[in-house]
Structure 1
Amino acid sequence: MSESHPPLRSYGRLKTRTIKPRQAALMETLLPTLRPPAEAFDPKALKPDAAEVWLEIGFGGGEHMAAQAQRRPEVLILGAEPFQNGIASALRHIDEAALTNVRVHDGDARELMTRLPDASLERIFVLFPDPWPKARHNKRRIVQTETVAEFARLLKPGGTLRFASDWADYVDWSLERFVRSPAFRWTAELAGDWRSAPADHITTRYEEKRLGDCAPVFLDFVRT
């Protein structure tokens, strides 16, 4: 990542409302213990007994990440999110469930990805990312040809990636870029495979708001 030409920001505001006192306290006490190393690292070193390592890019309020971590305690989940209110919410979920298998990067997911070694992940989630719907802003979307290549670098053969969005144009945009990559195979066989939430999906309050222009679409890919 060039210091003189940093990547375009792929997310919107960093903070909206005032963070509640309890969550603000967790930002000061819990977050520092959950941050991954600031240099290149092997994620397995963070939890040597982890059966798998997953990455959630843009975890929002942390509902999905925390619920998956609670459901699969043997899995280490790395989460990346720059939105301060979302981080504070996620910390509350982590604290209340006493989760020990989550690590939180409070910043751009691409910064975290560059620090991870090749073939270090079994699973990646990109769920309802900022859609940047205006054509002139499409270049800010997290799913680009370059990031698809980075996803391929990080996933082990047979690893999976799930993209979800309720913006039709972003679904088409992402599908085009993943299908174009020889590193990924789209698993859908029937229309219901992308129109219905997968069995292991956890619906969040944000998803239920239906802020996009279509019903949620779920695209699952396998690293070939």
Structure 2
Amino acid sequence: MEENKPTEIHPTDNSNDAKPEKKRKIHAYHHIKAHSNPLADKNFEYPLNPAAKDWSNYFAGKFKSQHAKVEFADVGCGYGGLLVNLSTAFPDTISLGMEIRDKVVEYVADRIDTLREKEPGKYQNIAVEKSNAMKNLPNYFEKGQLSKIFFLFPDPHFKKSNHRRRIISKQLLAEYAYVLKSGGIAYTISDVEDLHQWMDNHFSQHPLFEKLTQEELDADPVVPLVYASSEEARKVDRVNGKKMIAVFRRK
């Protein structure tokens, strides 16, 4: 399920700290389209291969490098809630949010800029990229590059005729397995029972993934972030919805 636009900026979960000019700019995005067809023909710029990608202007400080190595990828990052929390929880790890909607990408980029201005030296290890992960993921990441990949509240595409648009499929799992290193973790969560079962079944049936046990989930410090960090997760909480998680290890 795609996220609805929040009514105010949440750079540090405290909207009163945001710069007024940032708030005015982001308010113009309130009517962002909630859904996007990832199979439609759109003009996306993407690298010919991972080595061709120049990351110089994405990260800052010690992470600023043409050949920066992303380790965590949040596919369909929405408004960047998880991305921001990953930055502080894993300060030595580079995380990239990947989002298909132009205005949402602009919002997240502004959010990161605001955080860096407010707290110099922090949030230098995160960035956002406008991309279609269903088509171009291997153009960004080398084989076995990622240690974590996230699919938080993806669009359910309820109609059966649109199931081919879902971010989890047999074909796409082969690509996710390719970019994940051995032992890498894929996180999925949804408040839609049908989509949760769909993702769980596809991962469970794939020969390159194995499901984490409840004991392993309880010991994973990332799981609480997956449950609570994103704007969509907070929206589900506001309506007392049910959040269903399934996490898998790359064999």
TM-score (norm 2): 0.67
Equivalent of 1:209, from 221, 231, 235? 235
- What is residue 149 of structure 1 aligned with on the other side? 174
In 1, are the aligned partners of 2:209 and 2:249 still within 8 Å (CA)?
Answer: yes
- What is residue 204 of structure 2 aligned with on the other side? 179
In 1, are the aligned partners of 2:76 and 2:97 still within 8 Å (CA)?
Answer: yes
Counterpart-to-counterpart distance in 1, 2:72 and 2:166: 21
- What is residue 64 of structure 1 aligned with on the other side? 82
Deviation at 1:205, TM superposition (A): 2.6
- What is residue 133 of structure 2 aligned with on the other side? 109
Counterpart-to-counterpart distance in 2, 1:97 and 1:12: 24
The 1:150–1:133 alpha-carbon spacing in structure 2 relative to 1, beyond 3 Å, is same
Equivalent of 1:97, from 101, 115, 125? 115
Counterpart-to-counterpart distance in 2, 1:21 and 1:38: 33
Calculate percent identity across the aligned residue pairs: 23
Q: CA RMSD in A?
A: 3.5
In 1, are the aligned partners of 2:47 and 2:53 still within 8 Å (CA)?
Answer: no
Q: Aligned pair 1:198/2:223, yes or no?
A: yes
- Matched to 1:216, the amino acid is K
Counterpart-to-counterpart distance in 2, 1:199 and 1:208: 13
Counterpart-to-counterpart distance in 1, 2:159 and 2:241: 16
- What is residue 31 of structure 1 aligned with on the other side? none
In 2, are the aligned partners of 1:61 and 1:85 still within 8 Å (CA)?
Answer: no
Counterpart-to-counterpart distance in 2, 1:52 and 1:181: 25
The 1:199–1:214 alpha-carbon spacing in structure 2 relative to 1, beyond 3 Å, is closer
Q: Aligned pair 1:38/2:57, yes or no?
A: no
Counterpart-to-counterpart distance in 2, 1:185 and 1:114: 22
Secondary structure of the corresponding residue to residue 210 of structure 1: helix
The 1:86–1:44 alpha-carbon spacing in structure 2 relative to 1, beyond 3 Å, is closer
- Matched to 2:131, the amino acid is G
Deviation at 1:183, TM superposition (A): 0.8
Single out whichever of 152-161 and 212-221 deviates more from structure 2. Answer: 212-221
Deviation at 1:124, TM superposition (A): 0.1
Q: Aligned pair 1:140/2:158, yes or no?
A: no
Single out whichever of 160-169 and 113-122 deviates more from structure 2. Answer: 113-122
Counterpart-to-counterpart distance in 2, 1:60 and 1:220: 20
Unmatched 5+ stretches in structure 1: 1-10, 25-35
Counterpart-to-counterpart distance in 2, 1:43 and 1:56: 21
- Matched to 1:165, the amino acid is S
Unmatched 5+ stretches in structure 2: 8-21, 28-44, 56-62, 117-122
The 1:39–1:103 alpha-carbon spacing in structure 2 relative to 1, beyond 3 Å, is farther
Secondary structure of the corresponding residue to residue 143 of structure 1: coil
Deviation at 1:96, TM superposition (A): 1.9
Deviation at 1:188, TM superposition (A): 2.7
- What is residue 13 of structure 2 aligned with on the other side? none
Counterpart-to-counterpart distance in 2, 1:52 and 1:108: 17
In 2, are the aligned partners of 1:52 and 1:74 still within 8 Å (CA)?
Answer: no
Equivalent of 1:118, from 137, 140, 143? 143
Deviation at 1:43, TM superposition (A): 9.8
Deviation at 1:210, TM superposition (A): 2.5
